[in-house]
Structure 1
């Protein structure tokens, strides 16, 4: 009996885990264990990858000031980057970067994350190494365009990738750890550049050439590692057991993107791009991206304007990045813990605006250096903002478009930011500082509007077919206190919380409205020229070929919408059934735990106290499933 009981337990582990009450201690313990395994497998790889990505993308800023105190050895003098040439070199990177970034997330889903991210890394590593061979301004332009093509899609791809693995109230923390690699990269970049400055002249190469070589090789090696080590989706993760894979996929709920979703859904993509949310988030992120690019490319230049040159200017970029590392992670962690987004976005925005204000109006170098600390924290606002965006869409296609499209649009700021800090404005750079101050302020105003429309919760917002709260034909109305109600194609939906604080969604089919006949159809005088076998219009006239094609197209689109509605309804029903099973399982477990140990039937032989002989030789045993007696 002991061996039979021992073999029976693993067979039911998978099912019992899926139907545990999400609020139970056992469920939370299993979830913490699996999330911890995910963290240790995923986060080190993507953080290392982003550190190398940012080093390779922004090493141009360090190369510009490298060995600037030695005549003829700096990048500016060697390649004749006079006037606005440096600014143009920075800007041309973003033209292919933006164009190729938009569809990259769709390719990531099709080719799988490990292969696509590895391809990006190996490509940009090779291009960075080749940058050391540049001998003139035109060659540098060509290399920067190639680098934009190679790197396109990495950042939005990783943000999209994390939505497969982490719930909405877990994303900001992981995104912040990922993005904080930028701060580490900034600190390391300054230290590496300082060391490389002493290599100038070795093997006949300038210091900036050694910088490109030494920062490009690790990207190629890391790309190969990512290809073999990065897991693709929870459903296929080999580092998890089959039971853990099922739990990892199930815990994400019905609205998170899944590895089993279609690679591309045209209707979802169109609805996402046409929605007002897409453009509101895109404009807001564009404003933040100007600040990100200004600091990434011009931090060494701004510090140089304080009176520091050469290695000293490189070293002084390290403390602001180290400070930003803790602020970014701390703000995102508290945002996840409190399940709140807008206030944390606004807090980060206020800090950044303060930094630009100090740089614009203060002349003392020490206070201005403190302003550099503040503008280094732009990602403290950006990360909760991106986490909020991922909670306004559902499904793989909509999430891919929402992240890839918004980030691609915002990165067009990279073509603008370089011209905000022309060398002619040194040392105050008033135009750049005031412009970034105004843009971050505009972003804060849009965040306030999003707060008003979407609320402050980190959870999914009004999620329905394909796009959360998005799509053509939706009309928002007051529901009398239940929550936002969306109308779409004859369906009504209300989001609310039940008495236990659990999210619930109610969907119902609205009664169809009676159609109003047109005046033409009521006219008896209009002659009828109906041709047998052809569809007719309301006035009795046969449809033209174009009208028939339009009708067939609309019918096909309606059928597709109906199919998606049915699929979503089934997912919602399945989710509710699983929640009910979880509650029943939790109640059953509570009853079992409340019994005396002598009556515990799980994993052991029945105890004597649970099997009694009753008068007349009849035996009675306790049924653990119903707490009733079984007579034999």
Structure 2
């Protein structure tokens, strides 16, 4: 537990620029292992449970529909368009509040702000069980999005205070994989709860929203008291370990003692062309690659392979395989076996091929396999590119806003995805897959443009650093 609050951080020594890479030494590995357990592992477990609250809305769509008391019927026989808005409304406040929420994490400290997110998220999630009509579910979904805004980018910003960007590929992949594994847990949970229908006078979908909210509240209480804020204020680090962590942080990464809001950095962020290209990647991939995930159980159900209960289980292999691929690519990129930009473009191409085949192929089993491959590839894109996004953002304010704005762009998956994959386009979804292919082509172009701009920026930064060191040597410093 931290012994000091953030107000004291400014009294501590400033992190130095990383002159000597001490990342792979034994003391450094011990220090980072401690941070991984207390920060990364905690956030990953929380993300697993909290994302259940996001993905369970897709599972509730088909819970107990065979018995005639599914959520759509109980809330007033919702139409295809109305149900698309039930899913989408969550992402409007989520998207617009995300950048501000990320910056506020630095203002209030990670432990305070993240605990606020977790507790409010859990409470509002449970309130969904009390809704009785379309207006009620729309209202709770809206406030749910507002409550959760900032969690994922907040984690990325918090990690940037501890780990150099070059060492985060596997960490972000592991964290993101835990979140996506929630799709597997949601399917299993929905399958089990479908047999609780009517227990205690509650429908199966109401039980699902109630049960999913409890862990978030408990995690929020833990975070408030025990989540570490910054290396400078963490007593469980020795002085040597603290120095290693601070010395290894590049001077361009966020600093605990930096100002929360710096207008010069804000101006630089919006003048940087990578801001546009990264945003386009996140938007195009969000809709084209990840949009189908917002209605996955319904799409699988319409393949006609089985009934609604077993369909919940069929979502598990899809997410499970995706999580395995994600961790593998994260490990390979951190070990420099694969190059992140090339890997991302190859995965987008594979997804496009899968969507083309989904339009042509008629066999239901083949379609299920192609859908699983496409979603598995889509899961990997963001974690692969996040370290590059963080590395391209220089400064605390820049990093906070860049992470928040970029992740806000990803919420188009929930805003537009359900509209693109409305059930009226099923069961073939040819229109939906065609739109997705066009957007993924845009994502590939944007990835290539970002790669070029980041390499250009790296060369410019290296030249400046070399010039500074040259001048220092000439001055005898």
Matched, 1:347 2:323: no
Deviation at 1:414, TM superposition (A): 2.3
Deviations 1:462-497 (A, max 9, x none): 4xxxxxxxxxxxxxxxxxxxx437xxxxxxx725xx
Partner of residue 505, structure 1? 466
2:328 is the alignment partner of 1:330 = yes
**Which residue in 2 is equivalent to 1:64?**
61
Corresponding position of 1:560: none
Alignment partners' CA distance in 2, 1:429 and 1:239: 54
Tell me the SS of whatever aligns to 1:194. helix
SS in 1 for 2:466: strand
For residues 214-272 of structure 1, the C-alpha deviation after alignment (integer angstroms, 9 at most, x for no partner) is 10111111111122222111222222122211221111132221111111111111220
Deviations 1:23-48 (Å, cap 9, x if unpaired)? 68x96222222111211221221111
2:467 alignment partner, SS class: strand
The residue that corresponds to 1:120 in the other structure is 117
* Structure 2 residue 406 is the aligned partner of structure 1 residue 406: yes
Match in the other structure for 1:494: 463
Select 2:185's aligned residue among 165, 188, 191: 188
How far does residue 211 in structure 1 lie from its aligned partner after superposition? Answer: 0.3
CA 1:43 to 1:138, structure 2 compared with 1: closer, same or farther past 3 Å? Answer: same
* 1:376 CA drift (Å): 2.2
* 1:381-460 → structure 2 map (5 Å cutoff): 381-455=381-455
Q: Please state how far the C-alpha of 1:108 moved relative to its aligned partner.
A: 0.3
Q: How far 1:22 moved relative to its partner? A: 4.1
Give the secondary-structure state (helix, strand or coil) at the position aligned to 1:239.
coil
Spell out the pairing of 1:290-329 with structure 2 (5 A cutoff).
Answer: 290-291=287-288, 293-307=290-304, 308-329=306-327
Which structure dedicates a bigger proportion of its chain to strand? 1
Cα pair 1:273 1:401 within 8 Å, conserved: no
Q: What is the number of residues matched between the two proteins?
A: 457
Residues 55 and 182, structure 2, Cα contact 8 Å, conserved in 1: no
Which of 129, 148, 152 is residue 151 of structure 1 equivalent to?
148
**What is the rounded CA distance, in whole Å, between the counterparts of 1:137 and 1:94 in structure 2?**
17
Q: Distance in 2 between matches of 1:182 and 1:428?
A: 29
Report which stretch shifted further, 255-264 or 186-195.
255-264
Task: Encode CA deviations 1:327-356: one digit per residue, 9 max, x unaligned.
Answer: 011112211211832112113222322332
CA contact (8 A) 2:287 2:416 kept: yes
The gaps in structure 1 that reach 5 residues or longer are 1-17, 463-482, 486-492, 496-503, 510-568, 581-632
- Do the aligned partners of 2:292 and 2:421 also contact (CA within 8 Å) in 1? no
Instruction: Measure, in 1, the Cα distance between the counterparts of 2:235 and 2:421.
Output: 49
- The one of the two structures with greater contact order (alpha-carbon pairs below 8 A, sep at least 6) is 2
- Assess if the C-alpha contact under 8 Å between 1:100 and 1:149 holds in 2: yes
Partner of 2:10: none
Q: Is the 8 A contact 1:102 1:408 kept in 2?
A: yes
8 Å contact kept, 1:169–1:337: no
Per the alignment, residue 32 of structure 1 pairs with 29
Q: Which of the pair has more CA radius of gyration?
A: 1
Of Structure 1 and Structure 2, the greater helix share is in: 2
The TM-score, its normalising length taken from structure 1, stands at: 0.69
Q: How much is the aligned-residue C-alpha RMSD, in angstroms? A: 2.5
The 1:399/1:19 distance shift into structure 2, 3 A limit, reads closer
**Displacement of 1:199:** 0.6
- In the TM superposition, residue 358 of structure 1 has moved relative to its aligned partner by 2.7
Give the C-alpha shift of residue 426 in structure 1: 1.3
Q: 2:358 matched to 1:359?
A: yes
- Deviation per residue, 1:127-182 (Å, 9 max, x gap): 01010000001111111111111011111111121111211221111111111013
Q: Which residue of 2 aligns with 1:242?
A: 239
Inter-partner Cα distance in structure 2 for 1:258 and 1:83? 47
1:372 paired residue number: 371
Q: Structure 1, residues 427-453: CA drift from partner, whole Å, max 9, x if none?
A: 111122121222122111111122223
- The 10-residue stretch of structure 1 (382-391 or 356-365) with the greater mean CA deviation from structure 2: 356-365
Does structure 2 conserve the Cα–Cα contact (< 8 Å) formed by 1:51 and 1:185? yes
- The ranges of structure 1 where at least 4 consecutive aligned residues each deviate by more than 3 angstroms after the TM superposition are 18-24
Q: Give the whole-Å Cα distance in 1 for the aligned partners of 2:17 and 2:261.
A: 31
- Kept in 1, the 8 Å contact 2:177–2:326? The answer is yes
Distance in structure 2 (CA, Å) of the matches to 1:407 and 1:23: 30
For 1:510-536, what per-residue CA distance to the aligned partner results, in whole angstroms no more than 9, with x for missing partners?
A: xxxxxxxxxxxxxxxxxxxxxxxxxxx
Q: Secondary structure at the match of 1:428?
A: coil
- Quote the residue 1:268 is aligned against: 265
SS in 2 for 1:416: helix
Aligned counterparts of 2:295 and 2:403: Cα–Cα separation in 1 = 26
SS in 2 for 1:261: coil
Retained in 2: the 8 A contact 1:105–1:156? yes
